[in-house]
Amino acid sequence: MKQLFFLSVCSFFSLSMYAQADAHAAAAPSAIVAPQADEGLYLKETEHNFGKIPQGKPVTYVFEVKNNSKAAMKIDNVQASCGCTTPEWDREKQMEPGEASKITVGYNAAAEGPFTKLVTVTYNGTQTKQITIKGEVWKTPAASAPANDAVNGLKN
């Protein structure tokens, strides 16, 4: 009796799962479609973490961008959120479809502490994308380490 009950419960569950899968496939025959490519400017990455950097030592990072549209485009402006961040790009370059370019973002690391800075990329007149740089600036010592006279005693 237990075996018959177990067999009927298993049959019921397997048939109900098959029915749901079959109904789902019938309801959405085109559910498996390749994702559409992002039209416009494609950024390989939108954020970079410099980690810990010494105060007073400027750092830079190069962001790769690509024209993912079907028409030529131009990066009109790259605007940093403050004067401590300096973006550079080829201002005259017209990117053809599929062509890549680079945006170099520098940070001067003058102020001690953590930072997060936004850089806005404007292209094709009014379209925008944002890039974020972040990290932490640690204070460098004011003077070098004092001389250690005991080192001379270690030499043979």
Please say if the pLDDT value at position 129 is more than 90.
yes
CB 58 within 8 A of CB 137: no
Query: By C-alpha distance, which of 124, 138, 115 is closest to 57?
Result: 138
May I ask the CATH class of domain 41-138?
mainly beta
Q: Is the pLDDT of residue 147 over 90?
A: no
Please give the model's pTM, rounded to 2 decimal places.
Answer: 0.66
Residue 22: the pLDDT is 45
Instruction: Kindly state the percentage of the chain with pLDDT values over 70.
Output: 71
Alpha carbon 127 to its chain's center: 19
Compute the distance between CA of residue 120 and CA of residue 124 in angstroms, rounded to an integer: 13
What token pair was written down for 117? 């800075």
- If you search the block for the tokens 């790009």, which residue do you land on? 89
Q: Left if phi > 0, otherwise alpha if psi is -120 to 50, otherwise beta: which for 123?
A: beta
Give the amino acid at 14: S
Bridge-partner residues for 115, per DSSP? 135
pLDDT, tens digit, for every residue of 1-12? Answer: 556 555 555 555
Average pLDDT, the chain: 80
Lowest pLDDT segment from 22-31, 87-96, 104-113, 125-134: 22-31
Backbone angles phi, psi at 24, to 5 degrees: -65, -40
